[in-house]
Structure 1
């Protein structure tokens, strides 16, 4: 979805609705919240093993992609400083120019890292109590509104600190928590014969998503910006739409057979590489001077991105994650035999 949003200009001079697919990043936050919900609700876990797995999941392919973007980035007096800050996931701490200098898609990675760092503390705070999650959601919804109310645009030369917080965890935690709600709801209705509930939720999410997409296609960012509530919660509404659709799909598709699980793992394995490398391919195509027909250019770029993602997964991601799991297993708590 994010690739399509960034490559939409290849398909049509008026992308409109296709640009709305940038909200795929909101889906990413929801899925991340869903995946880590068991840890959040666990009351505590082995932090060292968890940290090792996270480092070897996130860093290796990122460290491969960053020098490639450095090579094709325009010359700037601040270029090397930007590189150092990106290495520490601090590239979104001063403004849009730095955040988007190498790869606009990088902006979401610091948020993910912050969630990883906060998760052990959140797990102890929540301690399995769902009402605490609801309380956190309410608090951060209010915080999000206050941040947006006082924030300058992130793209201005010197955005204020509220604009910075808006693209970090204080402004985005609520989207991760939507994924937690989906996980809890799915566990509650797991095995239920009432598939109509899942279908209804999925349809509600689809209707909400389409309504938001059509609004964006007609009014764009400016239309969102003139309405304070939409400006504050447009991304959250997108996340809720994705959460409802995710809940619906989980209820309707058991995905217990071989082909379904294999397809899901295959796509999951490629997703991070696609996210990291798609801007690289689009920029190289733009710099190449080639003038392919729009649809052909889109397909060629998409296939190139997939090829890079597959290569990155097999040569970097999979070996690094395997090593990380082995290393983390040394620090995982040993369960005693109940006998």
Structure 2
């Protein structure tokens, strides 16, 4: 969903990948922190998977998805993006074209590949898809990471989850601009600008699709991530013990549980963003043991995020009818599709993400 929250270099990804930074180059607290971030990515990605299992069944049966709040995985990705970009700035990464190229190569190739595949499917077998259409304007908007016009289906790109990548790419561009030309208070200026965008969206009557998209309060979740890193982890890391970390995780989970049946779209950053921020704040220090399988799921989480909806759709629209079933319990659908999602994610990670970063990462570094 993803989000940098999205080779591989854990610092340069929206959703997940293996680290290229050597452990020797990390501070004592940052090395385990990056492992914890991978675990958070895995958890966030699979929360979104759970949500889409229920949502796909709801489309077919007309029943409300019980686990709609699993979409909080997207909010976790956005908070992580703000956190990680602040870590990048804190480490002194040079703000030149390579900064933007690294993010583009990390996100775009797999996204473009899957967008093109969906465009072709929408041309030849449109009944297999819920929302993707073979609309050239939507394809162009998808390639440019821009929200479409009302005529092109609103802000939804061809690959539905691409709306989150539109936010990610815009955020990376803002980080580049503010860090390169923002002076001493550059990150404070970026946070203030995000607040300004949201306030602008509240006072403008009848904003168009593009303005409505970029002034949505959800952009404040990136600011939450910036705030977390600057105020807690950069200045007061010693105060965040494992006990405090798990208290933050449990508090976030409790707040989340209290809102699990809410409809948070208007002010999602409060209803789900605050719990997500608490989970991230605790999560980056709460995992003290290495969890190999969860780390691998974190490595594959970007592929999981882009792929899972279509595996679930295939299961609901093709496999269940082939078995003579009009529907199935959500848990059964999850158990049917989860191994396929994990396998597909691994194959995309090894077959697309890693080769792209190996080939183009070296040229970008020059």
| Alpha carbons 1:270, 1:310 under 8 Å: kept | yes
Following TM superposition, by how much is the alpha carbon of 1:19 offset from its aligned partner in structure 2, in angstroms? 0.6
Q: Note the alpha carbon deviations across 1:198-227, whole angstroms, 9 max, x for none.
A: 34433332232222224x1xxxx3xx57xx
- The structure 2 residue matched to 1:79, chosen from 119, 135, 143, is 135
Three-state SS of the structure 2 residue aligned to 1:244 is: helix
Question: Relative to structure 1, is the Cα distance of residues 196 and 113 closer, same or farther in structure 2, using a 3 angstrom cutoff?
Answer: same
The corresponding residue for 1:121 is 177
| Alpha carbons 2:148, 2:157 under 8 Å: kept | no
- The structure 2 residue matched to 1:168, chosen from 174, 197, 214, is 214
Is 2:304 the counterpart of 1:274? yes
- The structure 2 residue matched to 1:306, chosen from 342, 345, 349, is 342
| Alpha carbons 2:95, 2:180 under 8 Å: kept | no
The corresponding residue for 1:202 is 249
Question: Relative to structure 1, is the Cα distance of residues 104 and 145 closer, same or farther in structure 2, using a 3 angstrom cutoff?
Answer: same
Following TM superposition, by how much is the alpha carbon of 1:271 offset from its aligned partner in structure 2, in angstroms? 1.0
The corresponding residue for 1:53 is 102
The corresponding residue for 1:336 is none
Question: Relative to structure 1, is the Cα distance of residues 7 and 187 closer, same or farther in structure 2, using a 3 angstrom cutoff?
Answer: same
Is 2:34 the counterpart of 1:4? no
Aligned positions of 1:299-338 closer than 5 A: 299-330=335-366
The corresponding residue for 1:239 is 273
Distance 2:247 2:148 in 1: 39
RMSD: 3.1
Distance 1:313 1:33 in 2: 24
The corresponding residue for 1:65 is 114
Three-state SS of the structure 2 residue aligned to 1:254 is: coil
| Alpha carbons 2:197, 2:214 under 8 Å: kept | no
Number of equivalences: 303
Following TM superposition, by how much is the alpha carbon of 1:316 offset from its aligned partner in structure 2, in angstroms? 0.5
Q: Note the alpha carbon deviations across 1:110-154, whole angstroms, 9 max, x for none.
A: 11111122211121355554xx645643553354144146566xx
Q: Note the alpha carbon deviations across 1:161-188, whole angstroms, 9 max, x for none.
A: 2x43333367543211111122221233
Following TM superposition, by how much is the alpha carbon of 1:58 offset from its aligned partner in structure 2, in angstroms? 0.8
| Alpha carbons 1:111, 1:169 under 8 Å: kept | no
TM-score, normalising length: structure 1: 0.76
More helix by share: 1
